[in-house]
């Protein structure tokens, strides 16, 4: 049984390329699992996306927060946040949240979201903002438990 106490929760180190690369990979998996998209990124896309993350973390703006969870050397979960203005207010948008399947159900996402909120509050954000697919019942349940309410609907029609 995996235990929260044996894990380390911290921001990734932008001087450590392998950490940024692993962070991007887990972010890609989050997007693919949540959207049901089986197509992996190519190696060149991964390198490009990793470089983009590193630029965001080192440009001095402090607009991005890349939290990761480690068991020993292995990164097993990520949470990716971004400060931005929404509805004319300072807000914190959630880009990604992913927990390795073997580590689910023990409270990792809940703790990551608490840490993300703490950062957003410290940075002066007025609210958190997140997009979740209607089919992602687990993520909807977590958000509801943490006090999120529906702010808008994203309407689609097949053509």
Ligand X SMILES: CC(C)(COP(=O)(O)OP(=O)(O)OC[C@H]1O[C@@H](n2cnc3c(N)ncnc32)[C@H](O)[C@@H]1OP(=O)(O)O)[C@@H](O)C(=O)NCCC(=O)NCCS
Q: Which is nearer to ligand X, 14 or 130 (CB)?
A: 130
Q: Check residue 34 for interaction with ligand X (CB under 6 A).
A: yes
CB-based contacts of 90: which residues, under 8 Å, 6+ apart?
83, 123, 124, 125, 126
**Which of residues 68, 75, 78, 97 is near ligand X by CB under 6 A?**
97
Q: Which is nearer to ligand X, 3 or 44 (CB)?
A: 3
DSSP structural state of residue 113: H
Q: Which residues pair with 67 in a beta bridge?
A: 11, 79
CB-based contacts of 67: which residues, under 8 Å, 6+ apart?
9, 10, 11, 12, 78, 79, 80, 81, 112, 115, 116, 119
Q: Which is nearer to ligand X, 44 or 154 (CB)?
A: 154
Q: How far is the CB of 31 from ligand X (least distance, A)?
A: 8
Per-residue interface string for the shown chain with ligand X, residues 68-87, x marking contact by CB under 6 A: --------------------
Segment 128 to 157, residues that bind ligand X, using CB under 6 A? 132, 136, 138-139, 141-142, 145
């Amino acid at each position: 049984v995996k235990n929260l106490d044996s894990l380390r929760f911290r921001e990734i180190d932008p001087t450590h390329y392998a950490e940024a690369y692993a962070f991007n990979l887990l972010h890609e998996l989050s997007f693919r699992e949540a959207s049901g998209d089986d197509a992996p990124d190519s190696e060149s896309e991964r390198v490009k996306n990793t470089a983009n993350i590193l630029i965001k973390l080192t440009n001095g703006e402090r607009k991005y927060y890349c939290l990761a969870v480690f068991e020993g050397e292995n990164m097993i979960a990520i949470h990716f946040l971004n400060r931005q203005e929404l509805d004319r207010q300072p807000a914190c948008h959630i880009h990604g949240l992913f927990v390795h399947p073997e580590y689910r159900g023990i409270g990792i996402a809940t703790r990551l979201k608490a840490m993300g909120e703490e950062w957003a509050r410290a940075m002066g954000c007025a609210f958190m903002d997140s997009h979740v697919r209607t089919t992602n019942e687990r993520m909807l349940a977590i958000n509801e438990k943490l006090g999120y309410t529906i702010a808008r609907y994203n309407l689609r029609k097949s053509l």
